Amino acid sequence: MRDPLAPPEVPRRLLMGSGPSNPEFRVLQALATSPLPADVPGFEQVLTDVTALCRSIFQASAESAALTVPGASRSGLEAAIASLVRPGDRVLVGVYGHFGELLCTLAARHGGTVERIDADWGQPVDPDTMVRRIRENPPRLAAIVHADTSTGVLQPLEDIGAACRATNTLLLVDVVLSLGGCEVNVADWNVNVAVAGLQKCLGGPPGLALLTASPSAQDAFTGGESAYLDLRRLAHTRDELSIPMVFAAHEAMRMVMNEGLAPRWQRHQRASDALRAGIEAIGLERFGNPRYHVPMITLVEVPDGMDEAGVRQQLLEQHGIEIMAAFGPLRGRVWRIGTMGTNACLPSVLALLGGLESVLHSRGFRWQPRGAAVDAAIAAWG
């Protein structure tokens, strides 16, 4: 019988699943900054910095608002939808994975009439189809995921954004997975509202959503039923702030900008290339259209006859490395391996390949020579 007064037992883990990833130690330390009341000048300055840093990382215009919403990234997505969708509004959603389904669910829950464009899992939504639908009959809101952890696919956004601009359609994009790991440019792509979290490629813990809103999105904000999710109100209140999470966001974004956006995207790409080279050297195959692979999560097809869950379990218990199962149509068929934030580096890739190699060997999946994966990863990292 566990004593609830005992300290928690938190195992050491290399988090290489679909997120959260291991946070930067400096970001965890920032959580322990003594809180300041939300209305003091020192805290106002932190909030001003957070806004400036958000604009830089999202590549948003100087007129954009930057907001934080406590809770998981999906709190931010729901706040965006609650603030943009009025009952009966038409919402066009591009769906190519689990998180596109979430956008549909949230839009319907807030009274929107959802129209969807589906793509097969492993492919992005066809931009031409979405552009045509927007131009023919502009909805109130178009919504799509930039990079979906469920499929590892990156969605091209430029043409969709241009069609939205031409038709005065609002565009909402989920950049939870992509921000900090590959290019996100909400100004050039005409994204009106973009939503991210700290726990993927930004090197922070889960617990806060980051959000930018263009001037036209701010003008369009409507009051939903919930005060909590009302971005008009959140833009002007300090009532809901999670002060530790704001300090964490500040430190995570400082680290991103000190590294530089382009070097950080390149680091994620190198880690992804190294992982994929190693996976291919083992003889495993990647899932999805290679033209649209994201650089922060890699979907690997489970070899015939291999126990998908058993391998993950063994990797976790024997080597302390977490990778993830897949959702929906991919369940049991692929593993999802993340290289996000702190784990977008060669040591984490080598640890994963070493552990996976050992587990697969123990289960009779063998190849020659044994060190091929490591050699290939090191060569690809360059």
Window 223-252: residues binding its own copies (CB under 8 A): 224-229, 239-245, 247-248, 250
**138: preceding bond cis by omega (within 30 degrees):** no
CB of 247 to its own copies, least distance (A): 7
Among 16, 65, 67, 74, which residue interacts with its own copies (rule: CB under 8 A)? Answer: 74
* Residues within window 166-225 making contact with its own copies, judged by CB under 8 A: 199, 205-208, 224-225
Site string for its own copies, 95-124 (x = CB under 8 A): ----------xx--xxx-------------
CB 39 within 8 A of CB 348: no
What are the CA-CA distances from residue 284 to residues 230, 300, 349 (Å)? 47, 7, 15
User: What is the contact mask toward its own copies in residues 52 to 71, using x (rule: CB under 8 A)?
Assistant: xx--x-------------xx
83 contacts its own copies (rule: CB under 8 A): no
Query: What token pair was written down for 356?
Result: 């996976």
Token pair belonging to 8:
């928690």
Q: List, as own/partner pairs, every contact residues 327-330 make where C-beta atoms lie below 8 angstroms and the sequence separation is at least 24, other chains included.
A: 327/97, 327/98, 327/150, 328/98, 328/121, 328/150, 329/121, 330/121, 330/150, 330/151, 330/287, 330/299
- Distance between CA atoms of 69 and 241, rounded to whole angstroms? 8
Which of 5, 290, 347, 382 touches its own copies (CB under 8 A)? 5
Q: Which is nearer to its own copies, 231 or 274 (CB)?
A: 231
Q: 10: burial class by Cβ within 10 Å (0-12, 13-18, 19+)?
A: exposed
Bridge partners of 66, per DSSP, are 212
Q: Whose Cβ is closer to its own copies: residue 112's or residue 138's?
A: 112
CB of 241 to its own copies, least distance (A): 7
Quick check: 12 binds its own copies (CB under 8 A)?
yes
Judged by CB, which is closer to its own copies: 256, or 282? 256
Residue type, 283: G
E strand map for the chain: 14-15, 65-70, 90-95, 113-118, 141-145, 147-148, 153-154, 170-174, 193-197, 208-213, 297-301, 321-322, 334-338
What residues contact residue 205 under an 8 Å CB cut-off, 6+ apart?
Answer: 20, 23, 27, 28, 31, 198, 199, 248
Tell me whether strands 147-148 and 153-154 are parallel, antiparallel or unpaired.
antiparallel
Q: Site residues for its own copies, window 305-334 (CB under 8 A)?
A: 322
**Residue matched to tokens 């005992």:** 6
Using CB under 8 A, which residues numbered 263 to 292 contact its own copies?
none
- Is residue 166 within 8 A of residue 175, CB to CB? The reply is no
> For its own copies, which residue of 78, 89, 101, 148 counts as binding (CB under 8 A)?
78
According to the binding rule CB under 8 A, does residue 20 interact with its own copies?
yes
Candidates 7-15, 163-171, 179-187, 371-379: pick the segment binding its own copies (CB under 8 A).
Answer: 7-15
Under rule CB under 8 A, residue 140 binds its own copies: no
Cβ 243 to its own copies shortest distance, Å: 5
Choose between 263 and 364: whose C-beta lies nearer to its own copies: 263
Which region among 43-51, 91-99, 274-282, 333-341 touches its own copies (by CB under 8 A)?
43-51
Torsion of CA 340, 341, 343, 344, to 10 degrees: 80
> Is residue 150 a contact point for its own copies (CB under 8 A)?
no
Question: For its own copies, which is the closer residue by CB, 328 or 371?
Answer: 328
Cβ 67 to its own copies shortest distance, Å: 13
Is there binding between residue 37 and its own copies (CB under 8 A)? yes
Is the CB of 24 or the CB of 357 nearer to its own copies? 24
State yes or no: residue 84 binds its own copies (CB under 8 A): no
Q: Are strands 141-145 and 113-118 parallel, antiparallel or unpaired?
A: unpaired
Smallest distance, its own copies to C-beta of residue 111, A:
7
Applying CB under 8 A, among 65, 79, 231, 284 the residue interacting with its own copies is 79
**Tokens found for residue 342:** 């702190």
